[in-house]
Structure 1
Amino acid sequence: MASVSIVPLGLEEARRVLAQTPLPSDNWAPGYPFADELDVLPLFIDAFERNGNPAPFGLYAVVRSDDGAYIGGIGFFGPPEDGVAELGFGLIEGARGHGFAAEALASAIRIALDNGATSVVADALVDNPASHRTMLTAGMVETRRDDRLVYFATR
């Protein structure tokens, strides 16, 4: 059975991840951080510096329970708007296919709903069926699609 937790990233930790300079005490799996995570970290850091800690609608590391290794990230694109919280997620290549992403996504959905969101949405490229399965497994449903993206939401 897959087992992960999600741990909120603080400002200094986010800076280390972006710089890819772990402390000796950081337990990063090979391949962490992955490219997509590096793309969102500057936005997170900037928003954190301007507006303070966005918790609980910030970024989280996905941490594998059996060894405590950071294997990916999941995060919100800000607080809910009209009750809707949007998020994105991803794992390092070596952690995919084990159910970790669906478990992390379900945890993030619970956090959002427990903190005032009425719905959680996410999307994935049309040619990314693994992400589609992850969102369905986490309890989301497909709401629409276009030429590029498939959109999902909680029920």
Structure 2
Amino acid sequence: MEDLVTARLVLHPMSVVEARQVMAGVPGEGARWAPGYPDQGDVAGARRFLNTCEQSGDPQPFGAYELRRREDDLVMGGLGFHGPADENGGVTIGYGLVPAARGHGYAGEALRALLVFARARGISRVHGDTARENIASQRVMAAAGMRLVAEDERLRYYTIEWTGMPGTTSENA
């Protein structure tokens, strides 16, 4: 699968080899990791990706992605799908950035690209969640068009839904 490219970012589909490198905390030859990458969330995403690959095969395009800055190919975090679409056409996403990359709009840019990508591939609903205290992530999801649909003592849950074909305007119906 090819990289997804935005104005400032490259969303690189993670391979099994790259996921194992993330799990080991050791970059592959030529890879450039930002300080703090991978964090616990990146390791958990790599583990989930590897488990999916072992159980049902490579889930791409609905797998894990490395978030790289285009200008220097520096890996600053990860994002992606928690697996293939469910029986209702829904997927769950997650994302995270190293602390030094936060506050520059990268998460929003990456999330919007992932949402456009999902919708173009027939996904009808995307779910995400964030810790109640993570106001920045809540703002990222809201700005990308996701709406708060539930919350509990730990998390806030967001969803975006599309009806009709890609390109129509009936969102969050």
Q: TM-score, normalised by structure 2?
A: 0.84
Letter in 2 for 1:151: Y
Instruction: List gaps (5 residues or longer) in structure 2.
Output: 1-6, 161-171
**Secondary structure of 1:147's match?**
coil
Residue 139 (structure 1) shift: 1.8
Q: Deviations over 1:18-46 (max 9, x none)?
A: 11111230011111112211123222112
The one of 112, 136, 146 equivalent to 1:106 is: 112
Letter in 1 for 2:90: V
Partners of 2:35 and 2:154 in 1: how far apart?
30
Aligned to 1:30: 35
RMSD: 1.4
Instruction: List gaps (5 residues or longer) in structure 1.
Output: none
2:136 matched to 1:127?
no
Partners of 1:40 and 1:3 in 2: how far apart?
23
Structure with higher RCO (Cα < 8 A, 6+ apart): 1
**Secondary structure of 1:122's match?**
strand
The one of 54, 57, 68 equivalent to 1:63 is: 68
2:103 matched to 1:116?
no
Letter in 1 for 2:17: E
Residue 120 (structure 1) shift: 0.7
Q: Deviations over 1:122-152 (max 9, x none)?
A: 0111111011011112221112222221111
2:47 matched to 1:47?
no
- Identity over aligned residues, as a percent? 38
Q: Deviations over 1:50-92 (max 9, x none)?
A: 3221011100011112211000000111111111111111001
Q: TM-score, normalised by structure 1?
A: 0.93
Structure 1 segments, 4+ long, off by >4 Å, are none
